[in-house]
Amino acid sequence: MNNVIKYIKQELANSGFEFTQKESGREGVDFIIKTDNGNTHELYLQTINVEKEQSVSILKSALGEPKDNLWVALVLLMGDIERLYLIPSNQLAKPDDYIFFDSNQKGSLSHFSSWKIKIFTKGIMGKLSEYLFVYQAENLI
């Protein structure tokens, strides 16, 4: 996980963003980004090793309510390759049942409700590429 944090910090710094890392616990936001014009964005870090996993689940209670300035920073690991994707949290609230899924639980299990991001090598990687950090960084204005 330390290598992933280091990677994200490097990507943010290379893009000229001012940022702070939340140091307390795993719940909620991991990074706060401040743009040149004073806007702030929150990043929730999630990693996936595609050699071992095909999807990642994000507990709704951990992420909080989707909003315009909340992003999922998804780091995709493939051997020695790391790729950073920025997914607007609002996208999770609009599941497409292709990449983004809503997994609501009812009653006493509602605290297990989550959003799921599925990663496959056929077809989806092309669609997912629109969320690559290099393409989404301009939306952090």
Q: What structural domains does the chain harbor?
A: 2-139 (3.40.1350)
What are the structure tokens assigned to 51, written together?
Answer: 């050699």
pLDDT at 116 over 70: yes
- Predicted pLDDT at 106: 83
* pTM (2 d.p.): 0.88
pLDDT at 3 over 80: yes
- Predicted pLDDT at 123: 57
At 110, the pLDDT band (50, 70, 90 cuts) reads: confident
> Percentage of the chain with pLDDT > 90?
55
How high is the mean pLDDT of the chain? Answer: 88
Q: Which residues, 6 or more positions from 59, have their beta carbon under 8 angstroms from its beta carbon? A: 111, 112, 113, 114
pLDDT in tens, 45-80: 999 998 899 999 999 999 989 999 999 999 999 888
- Predicted pLDDT at 59: 93
Question: CA-CA distance, 133 to 85, in Å (whole number)?
Answer: 5
pLDDT in tens, 74-108: 999 988 889 999 999 999 999 998 899 999 888 88
pLDDT at 26 over 70: no
**Measured CA angle at 69 (ends 109, 46), to 5 deg:** 50
Burial level of 25, CB count in 10 A (0-12/13-18/19+)? exposed
